[in-house]
Structure 1
Amino acid sequence: MKKIKFFPIIALLAVFFTACSSDDDNNGPGTDDDGGDDYIVEKSGILTEDETWTADNIYLLDGKVVVDDGVTLTIEPGTIIKGMPGQEAQASALVVDQGGKLMAEGTAENPIIFTANSDNIQPGELYGSNLDQNDTGLWGGVIVLGKAPISVAGDNQTFQIEGIPATASYGQYGGDDPEDNSGSLKYISIRHGGITIGQDNEINGLTLGGVGRGTTIENIEVVANQDDGIEWFGGTVNVKNALIWAQGDDGFDTDQGWSGTMDNGLVIMGAESGTALEMDGPEGTTKHPDPDQQHTLKNITLVGAGTSSDYADLRDGLLVSLENVYAYGFGAGASVKINGEDSRDELADDNIVFSNWEIVLPEDVTIADIIVGKRPDPEDPDNELDMEIASEKFTDNAQGVETGTVGADTSVFSSWTYAAAMEVAF
């Protein structure tokens, strides 16, 4: 399970034909009298009534498509959704506004696929032939906004999500309902997205803003996203079984006091990837320790691309537990970075917890070399942070190995993900 392996071509063909045979009841793609594709349904603006999107069509997002408060969008297994190109504020995205619901429950045989309009994938197919993991930023992404608590500057209860203009009538997230329910997302692959609006203002593959634990999110894949794979902005939602491959920035990114659990996650770095795990602390008032602002990542596998990209960057006095983490394939300069005095102090006080880390160490690198302390400003002449009181919190709970005994159960991704179909080793 933890050893490098390749997706067998026989199994790949079996998955492919299974997906195609599941569509036997329709006649496949057709064209209308004008030579256009009659199975393409364009969507734009705010959805004000319940809708169901079906697998015999391709749904084309023209700009932001918003599931309004009180509206439910149901997406059937096997449905393909494509995003039109558009830069900055014009980027296309599916946005589930506060009070809206997305019921997108794919299956391992028929996952729901979000991709770029330029992807030549057709109904009944699991992937196209003209794009790969290097094609990023071709549309926006999927944004889900809920009413669960967040921690932002000024202790405001709500905030405007990244990637949505402040002038929009939608885009607020946060509240006081930790049990808030934004729907159900299962077996979903999100590909070739991610748009940079400005500094620290991007659309991620899957953005979760103030999403409550009443929401179900499991079996999610994000491939070739220009920014982060999944980013949490506060909220309480739990996520299970998530694969990120070849992201442009971070794999899993946590912010603003998210207090849920990510269980069974796999990050496969690309040559241009930033950090596998980037985690920030609460931005508002914090009591130490505050269990309502601590989150957990457990059963995680990190696969490097041979570069010096970091395993993790822990910032802004976060509160987190990192359990059963297996990492391999990283370069000699890769580190677990404790970023700032506030994070260093939380580590020393056991509010940042490492448990059962196993790392296949690069040549001539020790576990003690992995953990480093840095001040947030790289231009600071005294950038190095004194880690004497905290470094053993990592070194006592991590070990170098030849192969892992902890980490993700990667078999759950082998039958339905784009990464497995492309025979990525994990």
Structure 2
Amino acid sequence: MKKKLFFALAIVSLGVTLSCSTSDDPTPKPEPGKDVEKSGLLTANETWTAGNIYILKGKVVVAEGTTLTIEPGTIIKGAQGTEANASALVVDQGAKLIANGTADKPIIFTSIDDNIKVGQKAGTNLTEANTGLWGGVIVLGNAPISVAGDVKTKQIEGIPANESYGQYGGTNAADNSGSLKYISIRHGGITIGQDNEINGLTLGGVGSGTVIENIEIVGNQDDGIEWFGGSVNATNLLTWAAGDDGLDVDQSYSGTIKNALVIKGKDSDSALELDGPEGSKATEKGFTMENITINNNNNTSKIADLRDGLIANLKNILVYNIGTGSTVKVNGADSQAELKAGRITFSNWEAVLPQGLTLDKFIDGANGEEAKFVSNAKAITAVADAKTGANVSVFGWTYAKSKNAF
């Protein structure tokens, strides 16, 4: 009788063990308040919780077929590393990141050097001037791109070419890489090689099935946000003190970027760097940027750099604090041709121009087509007079707002 009872209990125990092992989310539940180190490939679904701080040791890659869910209010810190060992969160093709913060509980990516603690929205020892302390967030999808040779896929910048992950691009314009909402990414952009840094948020071939809303990038050494092709729409974006460009578009991106605030730092390059296709004319697609405010912070670099024969609709844009020599540059014969053909369009621009600058001089390199900008732009005397640009009230949740950056 005792043997039968023991055997029955063993069977029940085995059944419980098997049941637990087949969970959709097998993440071990860490002790609340503890730092949790993450490295390498994530090959099973898991959830990162707000009661812990997650430390990225090198590249943490959400593998194909895997979903990483991050709870509102979670803090993720990147270890510094060097070159190829720089830390970053990479969402590979066919994987998903579900990182839906809220205005009250944003998800924060920052450096391991940041003294921010669980439950806080900011530390006390770093500012927007602290850049390049870790990598950034890289999302890779299967939407179309335009690169040399018209190949369908390419290895993303910031990931060494010998890695097995890092490919982006394809044929599925509606591809879904997940959902990113109310996320603040700070102090990233570490250099991994000569002229090769990681952006705050990199979107490579990301499709329109992906949600990108309410994103803040602070103090990134390279670009704030860069799109490499793809068709994802993005709304309510803020970049502050990027070391390179605020918003950067490449490789025939074909979505809409709506309601964005770009605040330059003293070392920033263009507020908007906008590139066209790198492949053949057959891969051309246009994009739209609308409701954009640019605080140039008296920086002398370009407001917008229009390059490589882009096709773009640029509308409802406000620019102020314009430094000496800072202009909208129509860069190169291919972009000048697109302006002449009406495939670069300006609509409802307003600019607080410095003394002595006129609208026809504010656009540079238009090659006789200045009227296409001037007739759709207006010089105003103060920001308070603006009737266009971003709705900045939606950025009240950001670190930038807490530091009175706007």
Same-fold call, TM cutoff 0.5:
yes
1:126-165 matches, cutoff 5 A: 126-165=121-160
For residue 93 of structure 1, the aligned residue among 72, 88, 91 is 88
Residue 256 (structure 2) aligned to one of 247, 254, 261: 261
Does residue 47 (structure 1) correspond to residue 42 (structure 2)? The answer is yes
Shift of 1:310: 1.2
- 8 A Cα contact 2:264 2:299, kept in partner: no
Given residue 107 of structure 2, which amino acid in structure 1 is its aligned partner? I
TM-score by length of 1: 0.86
Structure 2 residue runs of 5 or longer lacking an equivalent are: 1-30
Q: Where does residue 119 of structure 2 map in the other structure?
A: 124
Task: Compare 260-269 and 393-402 and name the one that shifted more.
Answer: 393-402
Q: Which residue matches 1:372?
A: 364
Q: 1:217-236 residue pairs with structure 2 within 5 A? A: 217-236=212-231
Determine whether 1:413 maps to 2:392. no
2:312 paired with 1:320 = yes
In structure 2, the residue matched to 1:424 is 405
Q: How far apart are the structure 2 equivalents of 1:263 and 1:307?
A: 24
Question: Which of these residues, 391, 404, 411, is aligned with residue 386 of structure 2?
Answer: 404
Supply the distance in 1 between the matched residues of 2:347 and 2:332 (Cα, whole angstroms).
21
Establish whether residue 102 from structure 1 lines up as the match of residue 97 from structure 2.
yes
2:188 pairs with 1:193: yes
Equivalent in 310, 324, 334 of residue 332 of structure 1: 324
For residue 393 of structure 2, give the secondary structure of its aligned residue in structure 1.
Answer: helix
Give CA deviations for 1:333-392 in whole Å, capped at 9, x if unaligned.
10001110000010110111111110000111111111111xxxxxxxxxxxx711x221
Counterpart residue identity of residue 352, structure 2: V
* DSSP 3-state at the match of 1:342: helix
Query: Equivalent residue for 1:380?
Result: none
- Cα deviation digits, residues 45-104 of structure 1 (max 9, x gap): 000000000000000000000000000000000000000002221110000000000000
2:269 corresponds in structure 1 to: 274
Does the 8 Å CA contact 1:72/1:101 hold for their aligned counterparts?
A: yes
After superposition, residues 345-384 of structure 1 pair within 5 angstroms as: 345-373=337-365
Match of residue 311 from structure 1: 303
Aligned counterparts of 1:404 and 1:115: Cα–Cα separation in 2: 34
Contact 1:244 1:266 in 2 (8 A): yes
C-alpha distance in 1 between matches for 2:386 and 2:33: 50
Is the 8 Å Cα contact of residues 309 and 330 (structure 1) preserved in structure 2?
A: no
Aligned length: 374
Residue 200 of structure 1 deviates from its aligned partner by 4.7
Structure 1 residue matching 2:302: 3-state secondary structure: coil
Tell me the residue number matched to 1:216: 211
C-alpha distance in 2 between matches for 1:263 and 1:86: 34
Higher relative contact order (CA 8 A, sep 6+): 1
Kept in 2, the 8 Å contact 1:332–1:363? The answer is no
Q: 1:393 aligns with which of 372, 376, 397?
A: 372
SS at match of 1:103: strand
Amino acid in structure 2 at the alignment position of 1:278: E
Q: Tell me by how many angstroms 1:199 deviates.
A: 4.7
Cα offset for 1:38? 5.5
Q: Distance in 2 between matches of 1:286 and 1:88?
A: 35
- Percentage identity across paired residues of the two chains: 62
Which residue is 1:206 aligned to?
201
User: In structure 2, what is the Cα distance between the partners aligned to 1:73 and 1:253?
Assistant: 26
Corresponding residue SS for 1:369: helix
8 A Cα contact 2:33 2:51, kept in partner: no
| Alignment partners' CA distance in 2, 1:200 and 1:277 | 19
C-alpha RMSD of matched pairs (Å): 1.4
* Matching residue's letter, 1:401: I
Bigger Rg, which one: 2
SS at match of 1:129: coil
Q: What runs of 5+ residues in structure 1 fail to find an aligned partner?
A: 1-31, 374-385
Q: 2: distance between equivalents of 1:346 and 1:182?
A: 32
Q: Helix, strand or coil: the match of 1:368?
A: helix
Q: CA deviation at 1:277?
A: 0.2
State the Cα distance separating 1:423 from its structure 2 match: 1.4
SS of equivalent to 1:318: coil
